[in-house]
Structures are given as structure tokens and as C-alpha cells.
Amino acid sequence: MNRILSLSIISRQSIRLASTNLPQAGKVPEPKEITPQNAQFDQVTHTGQAWDQADYRLARYEYNPKTVNPNIAAHLIAEIPPKAVEDRVVSCGGGEIPALGHPLVFINLDKPGTHACGYCGQRFYNTHVTKEKDLSIHHIEC
């Protein structure tokens, strides 16, 4: 019984010691102190969120740093050149390897410019309608 009692005392002391060694966060300004001129925003996430230094949602990153993946999928898809198609209507099913949840989508290519699939972002253009100068026009089809 003494051994169990001594183990519980040791475990309480170790928990107390571990909790006192946590790093303390710096002074966070109050929301009323933040103006558009002095606001400092953190990194932009894949959803477009960037919080200022007084935002309460940054409390979860008090002891561990916030990590943001710089390879946002929209940027990677934009690097793929649009596909030239001779037909007026093209079907998109997610590319060569069909994505889960991507339905078969029919995209009308009658307007000049590139037309992107609303699910995977793959872009298409009609070679008869779209000239070189019109490739900067972008349409999103859902």
C-alpha cells in the first residue's frame, strides 16, 4: 500500500513540474488596440484565412507553431496548361484517375476562353472559337 501511495505522490509531483515548464506566450494585444494600420496577419491558409495578432482563434497555436502547407491545390492546378479540344462540349470525370466524388460533368466550350471544371479545376478550350489572345479569359463551369 505504501508503494502505491508513493507512486501517486511521485506522479502528482511530475505532473506539477511538467505543467510549470510550459513556455509562456508573449503579450497579445487587445482587439481594440488593433487598427488597419498596425494589424499584422499570419500566413494565408488554403481556405484564404489570415488572422491578425489579436484574434482569439490563434490561442490554439500558443505552445506549438502554426504550420501552413505552401502547396495549395489551386496553385498546383493552375500550373497545368489547359487542354485544347475540337468539340463544342467536353466531359470531365476527374482526369486520368477519376477522383472520388467527382461526377461526370459536361462543359460547354462555345464562348472564347478557357473553361474550368468546377470540381477538379481542369481547364479546356475550343480551338475553333478561342484564339491565342482569348486564353486569358477564364470561365468556371459547375
pLDDT tens for residues 72-93?
A: 887 888 889 999 999 999 999 8
Residue 16 has pLDDT above 70, yes or no: no
The Cα 112–Cα 127 span in angstroms is 9
Question: What is the percentage of the chain residues whose pLDDT exceeds 70?
Answer: 76
pLDDT higher at 15 or 30: 30
Average pLDDT across the chain, whole number: 76
More confident residue, 50 or 23: 50
> Torsions phi, psi of 82, nearest 5?
-70, 150
Question: Where does the chain show beta strands of DSSP type E?
Answer: 83-85, 89-92, 105-108, 114-117, 123-126, 138-141
Please give the pLDDT value at position 22. 45
